[in-house]
């Protein structure tokens, strides 16, 4: 009953007015490989609205034998760049033009996010803090006084559980985040995923150059159930659908556990979002 009440009190999130959408999928390993296809289905629907849609896939890895059982790749693709092979396969299947970037994500890859009529959505499906830090830094494009032109949807999972978090601003100001601070009707901004989960920027042991973990220990840490990536992808796709097509996005973080078969979300109510508001010091004399 409490969750239902919170959802009823939530306000929808509305991006800036736009005629163009840039989808940037960073990382097409476990979750990203499945999400690429889900996103193609959303794009087919968006094209009916006559909006200009761009879709780019960014990943520097190649397909390995160990990827076949848990990721969206085939035996014949082993040794090929993940970004190129996934883009080619999805383009052929859905008739959508997709740009493949066989490299690691860098800030300067996002050049058009500030265009007045453009909405950019970065979908992060990465497994390291360095990549998340670079995505987080791009949020500076957004102005606190205007509707967000750039959203970051972060996807993560481990073993049998996962989470999806969406945000727009690293210095979340709840006073400026809505259309009317006295009587808000919708949100213009959401707190960055790293405000909700600061640990996203904390390096994992296997990321540190001086760690002493054995190969077996790293493998155990990174073990994932067969279907955890598909579950993460399904939840992320629903976020993207509501943000860009159907409207009515009223959540900013969702969590699931496959063993318990449970899900829960944090809804965009004032009481929930104000937890991430840190008032800035007033330096006026």
User: Domains of the chain: which residue ranges?
Assistant: 14-276
So what's the pLDDT on residue 214? Answer: 43
pLDDT digits (tens, 9 = 90+) for 79-115: 999 999 999 999 999 999 999 999 999 999 986 555 7
In CATH terms, the superfamily for domain 14-276 is: NAD(P)-binding Rossmann-like Domain (3.40.50.720)
Strand arrangement, sheet containing 251-257:
99-101, 52-58, 20-26, 118-124, 150-158, 161-167, 251-257, 262-267
Q: Is the pLDDT of residue 284 over 70?
A: no
pLDDT digits (tens, 9 = 90+) for 164-188: 999 999 999 999 999 998 899 999 9
Task: For 89, list phi and psi in degrees, rounded to 5.
Answer: -65, -45
So what's the pLDDT on residue 87? Answer: 98
pLDDT digits (tens, 9 = 90+) for 32-84: 999 999 999 999 999 999 999 999 999 999 999 999 989 999 999 999 999 99
Q: Is the pLDDT of residue 215 over 90?
A: no
In angstroms, rounded to a whole number, what is the distance separating the alpha carbons of residues 263 and 208?
Answer: 32
Max Cα separation, the chain?
A: 68
Confidence of residue 209 (pLDDT cuts 50, 70, 90): low
So what's the pLDDT on residue 158? Answer: 85
Per-residue tokens: 78: 């082993």
């Amino acid at each position: 009953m409490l969750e239902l009440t919170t959802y009823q009190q939530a306000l929808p999130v509305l991006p800036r007015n736009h005629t163009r959408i840039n989808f940037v999928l960073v990382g097409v390993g476990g979750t990203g490989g499945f999400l690429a296809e889900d996103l193609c289905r959303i794009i087919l629907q968006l094209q009916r609205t006559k909006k200009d849609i761009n879709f780019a896939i960014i990943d520097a890895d190649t397909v390995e034998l160990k990827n076949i059982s848990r990721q969206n790749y085939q035996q014949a693709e082993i040794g090929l760049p993940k970004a190129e092979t996934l883009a080619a396969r999805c383009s052929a299947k859905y008739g959508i033009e997709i740009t493949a970037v066989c490299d690691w994500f860098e800030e300067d890859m996002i050049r058009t996010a500030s265009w007045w009529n453009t909405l950019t959505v970065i979908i992060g499906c990465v497994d390291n803090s360095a990549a998340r830090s670079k995505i987080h830094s791009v949020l500076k494009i957004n102005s606190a006084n205007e509707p967000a032109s750039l959203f970051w949807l972060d996807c993560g999972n481990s073993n049998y559980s996962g989470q999806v978090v969406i945000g727009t601003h690293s210095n979340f100001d709840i006073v400026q985040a809505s259309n009317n601070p006295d009587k808000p009707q919708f949100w213009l901004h959401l707190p960055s995923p790293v405000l909700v989960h600061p640990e996203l920027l904390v390096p994992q042991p296997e990321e540190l150059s001086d760690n002493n973990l054995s190969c077996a220990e790293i493998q155990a840490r990174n073990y994932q159930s067969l279907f955890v990536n598909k579950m993460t992808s399904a939840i992320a796709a629903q976020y993207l659908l509501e943000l860009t097509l159907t409207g009515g996005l009223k959540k900013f973080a969702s969590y699931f556990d496959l063993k318990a078969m449970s899900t829960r979300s944090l809804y965009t109510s004032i009481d929930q979002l104000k937890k991430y508001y840190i008032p800035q010091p007033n330096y006026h004399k």
